[in-house]
Amino acid sequence: SQKIEQNSEALNIQEGKTATLTCNYTNYSPAYLQWYRQDPGRGPVFLLLIRENEKEKRKERLKVTFDTTLKQSLFHITASQPADSATYLCALGAGGGNKLTFGTGTQLKVEL
């Protein structure tokens, strides 16, 4: 069955450092992968999308890589700030106007 794994342990880093979050998947051939941010008590908010034929995508301080051979995506936040503290979810889609499958998310805490 399809499986998406994100590190369940919280990631604690210092302000100014680069945070790197991992999303691994098995038994899936996604057309694209998305990253969402979720704050406590709120719904997830879309951040970035990367397609299967793309290696890397950037948006301001965010960078996503996608390795379909390793079946892995890495999500980087450079120059992290306490305001970046949240849970980050990856989601895979097969395309065709279809549903997404979400990972369980990784909590990031950026400390002063």
Partner 1 sequence: DVKVTQSSRYLVKRTGEKVFLECVQDMDHENMFWYRQDPGLGLRLIYFSYDVKMKEKGDIPEGYSVSREKKERFSLILESASTNQTSMYLCASSFPSGLTDTQYFGPGTRLTVL
Cβ closest to partner 1, residue 12 vs residue 46: 46
* H helix count then E strand count, the chain: 0, 11
Q: Round to whole Å and give the CA distance between 27 and 8.
A: 20
Q: Which stretch binds partner 1 (CB under 8 A): 11-19, 20-28, 37-45, 77-85?
A: 37-45
8 binds partner 1, rule: CB under 8 A: yes
Query: Which of 10, 29, 79, 95 contacts partner 1 by CB under 8 A?
Result: 95
Tell me the three state secondary structure of residue 75.
Answer: strand
Write out the binding residues for partner 1, residues 63-92 only, by CB under 8 A: 89, 91
* Among 61, 1, 67, CA closest to 37: 61
Cβ closest to partner 1, residue 71 vs residue 93: 93
Note the residue count of the chain: 112
Pairing of strands 106-111, 11-14: parallel
Q: Under the rule (CB under 8 A), what is the footprint of partner 1? A: 8, 32, 34, 41-46, 49, 89, 91, 93, 95-100, 102-105
